[in-house]
């Protein structure tokens, strides 16, 4: 076993041991972390689901705005492409409300 593998094994073992004895504090009362996740873990799952759905809606919208900007005959197309590329979803929303309707 080389030195890096041994170091990783030792660190992961120490983390596993420390997690086994970990305590979570809820309303000032210490409870085992397993009990915490059993009671409140669904909240993090629900937040993950919401963010995932927003992501699935936002990416096609961003691509739609990029294509719309490329097809437009705007004089400031390069500026809006940079805003869309570096601004991601926020840039797409800005383009939709500020620039897209003015070209129609």
Averaged pLDDT in 10-residue chunks for the chain of 104 residues: 64 59 74 73 87 92 93 89 93 91 58
Query: For residue 19, what are the domain limits?
Result: 3-103
Distance CA 58, CA 94 (A): 13
Distance from the Cα of residue 68 to its chain's centroid? 25
Burial of 62 (0-12, 13-18, 19+ CB in 10 A): buried
Q: How many distinct structural domains can be found in the chain?
A: 1
Instruction: Tell me the pTM.
Output: 0.57
């Amino acid at each position: 076993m080389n030195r890096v593998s041994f170091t990783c094994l030792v660190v992961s073992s120490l983390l596993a041991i420390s997690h086994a004895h970990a305590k979570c504090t809820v309303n000032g009362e210490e409870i085992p972390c397993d009990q915490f996740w059993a009671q409140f873990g669904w909240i993090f799952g629900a937040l993950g689901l919401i963010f995932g759905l927003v992501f699935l809606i936002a990416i096609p919208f961003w691509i739609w705005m990029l294509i719309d900007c490329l097809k437009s005959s705007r004089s400031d197309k390069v500026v809006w492409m940079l805003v869309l590329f570096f601004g991601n979803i926020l840039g797409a929303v800005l383009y939709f409300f500020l620039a897209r309707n003015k070209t129609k």
